[in-house]
Chains A and B, each alone.
Chain A
């Protein structure tokens, strides 16, 4: 049938429709394929989470040795016992010992299974709005038992946690009224949600999730001593590059 038409109208070329259709499809394939292929970096890239997912311009940095430095990113939940264990045994010392050489970024990833995790993240972010995120981060983990646990189990005592956060805020020297207002604000809630969304994009499923230069740190050791040694070894290896 199409043949007849071409002959009847005397046209030797395919119709404008066919040409345009082919054009659209070809352009789409070339653009998609081209971007996909040229965007491919070294083979390592496949196991590396892009840095714009892990770090935002306004992300909180415990230590800052610049953007070119070895970067550690931790997605954490303030009430998760493993995170508190990492803090006490690994990251607190890393922060002290490597502070001048690495950039250590912390992101919120409060898990639903911890009833006070979101509240604690809000406290840290609210302190951050007065420039004291790092101080609140340390207070929350240094005093973990005082608010996160009840008789050794995960606590759901909101009143006690709020009282503890107020104490920390006062010790840090925060404007308490503003601290409370910020904790309840949409800005703080949105920021935590954005952190969590980035964590999901980085395929974080549990906490703590630590990335060294974009590579997920997955220790094989059973004790915190072994984990700390492995973490330091990987940091040293990256620093030596």
Chain B
């Protein structure tokens, strides 16, 4: 049941991720053209992509991270459209998608860690990418594990696991920036 969501998730989630990566890249170029440029997502001291975008972590592989997002999410959207059009891919295709989303989810968690504990600022567009990468990885994994017993168990509690996953990250963010959030209320 839960894995029927994969094609739609790939199109919608991948599309959102693509848009966020694209905007980040545009902002990055604007920042390079004019170092004084304040990106649209720099809202306050905590929510500030300007301070995140200039860090070494924003070019983890020697090039701007959004380039990875633009290419990766474009592939995800294409795969999703193919699946919706009736494409029944062979197993290797699914494993390829698994490899891509696994890389994405590991990279995203490294970025979350860096953002919270090294950079100490949050970049809203980046958080959009975090939010779509996790379910993309999760439901692709469930699809690929569907015929195994562990997979069936996880699939039965698919949204519970996902909700728990998000709650943990939100809690880490809340704790880390507590002093700041509490001044806003």
Contact = CB atoms under 8 A, between A and B. Distances in A.
Interface stretch (B35-43, B87-95, B134-142, B159-167): B159-167
B3 to A, nearest CB: 13
Contact of B159 (A17, A36, A37): A17
B121 to A, nearest CB: 11
A103 B67 CA distance: 54
A21 interface: yes
Contact of A21 (B45, B163, B174): B163
A20 B167 CA distance: 13
Contacts of B181: 36
Contact of B179 (A1, A21, A53): A53
A39 interface: yes
Contacts of B174: 32
B73 to A, nearest CB: 26
A18 to B, nearest CB: 7
B179 A25 contact: no
B142 to A, nearest CB: 12
Interface string B158-185: 1110111001001100100001011101
Interface string B1-16: 1000000000000000
Contacts of A28: 167, 170-171
Interface residues of A, number: 22
Interface string A20-35: 1100110010001000
A16 B170 CA distance: 23
A18 B159 contact: yes
Contacts of B109: none
B157 A36 contact: no
Interface string B41-58: 000010000000000000
Given A24-B163, A24-B164, A28-B171, A201 B179 contact: yes
Contacts of B164: 24
Interface string A34-55: 0011011000011000100100
Contact of B157 (A20, A32, A201): A20
A203 interface: yes
Contact of A16 (B157, B162, B183): B157
Given A28-B170, A53-B179, A37 B185 contact: yes
Nearest to B158: A17
B163 to A, nearest CB: 4
A40 B160 contact: no
Leading 5 A-B pairs by shortest Cβ distance: A20-B160, A21-B159, A24-B163, A28-B167, A21-B163
Given A21-B163, A45-B183, A50-B179, 6 more contacts: A18-B159, A25-B167, A28-B167, A32-B170, A32-B171, A37-B185
